[in-house]
Amino acid sequence: MLKRIKTEPSPTVPLSRRLLVVDDHSDAGHLIGQLLRRANYEVAEIGDHHGAVSTLVALDEPVAGVLACFSTAGTGACLRLLDTLRNHHDPRLHDLRVLLISDQSRQQIFCLQAGADGILLRPFTDVELVDAVEEMVKRPEAERMDYRRAMVERIKADASMLPDPMAPMQAPTGTSDWF
């Protein structure tokens, strides 16, 4: 269930470098774990949200964050994990930082409002992954809510600049042979 490269927690790895990757596609989760290990993170990988919650409750040392990336089950599974963490009876899980990896850009606002600390859209590069994790881990606790609000506003502003797909097509101006 839980795959770890290191069997003992490393005393040289600071708390802010420990992550849990949750992905229902083991190869995808392993790839993400490898990319993060190259960036000097200690990473554990697990395949479902129930196992992830059980693992997080059982850990003696807390993790800096959780990366939820459900390749098969999709964003809905990420949101179920996020909801479980934010509403869990164990107070150590309430404030865990969670980065959701998704391929559905239209779900970003809902994910941020549900408490995600960041969203990384597929496809992404290894540099984008590490940058998103670094940003999530290093963001001061006092700025987390403001960051979510600012991201929601930015997404809304970006969306308002797109053409309305439901608007009727406009006839080109200056042409007399439109019909």
Does any domain span residue 6? no
Could you list the residue range(s) of the whole structural domain that residue 152 is in? 14-158
Q: Per-residue confidence at 165, pLDDT binned at 50, 70, 90? A: low
Q: Per-residue confidence at 158, pLDDT binned at 50, 70, 90? A: confident
Phi, psi of 74 (to 5 degrees): 85, -170
Does any domain span residue 50? yes
pLDDT of residue 8: 46
Does any domain span residue 166? no
Q: Per-residue confidence at 10, pLDDT binned at 50, 70, 90? A: very low
15-36, pLDDT tens digit by residue? 468 999 999 999 999 999 999 9
Does any domain span residue 148? yes
Q: What is the Cβ-side half-sphere exposure of residue 40, based on CA atoms within 13 angstroms?
A: 7
Does any domain span residue 43? yes
Cα–Cα distance measured from residue 27 to residue 19, given in angstroms and rounded to the nearest whole number: 17
85-110, pLDDT tens digit by residue? 999 998 889 899 999 998 888 888 98
Number of separate domains in the chain: 1
Q: Which two tokens stand for residue 29?
A: 């989760």
Does any domain span residue 167? no
User: Is pLDDT above 60 for 1?
Assistant: no
pLDDT of residue 105: 83
Cβ(119)–Cβ(103) under 8 Å?
no
Q: Which CATH number does the domain housing residue 139 bear?
A: 3.40.50.2300
In the beta sheet, which residues pair with residue 45? 3, 21
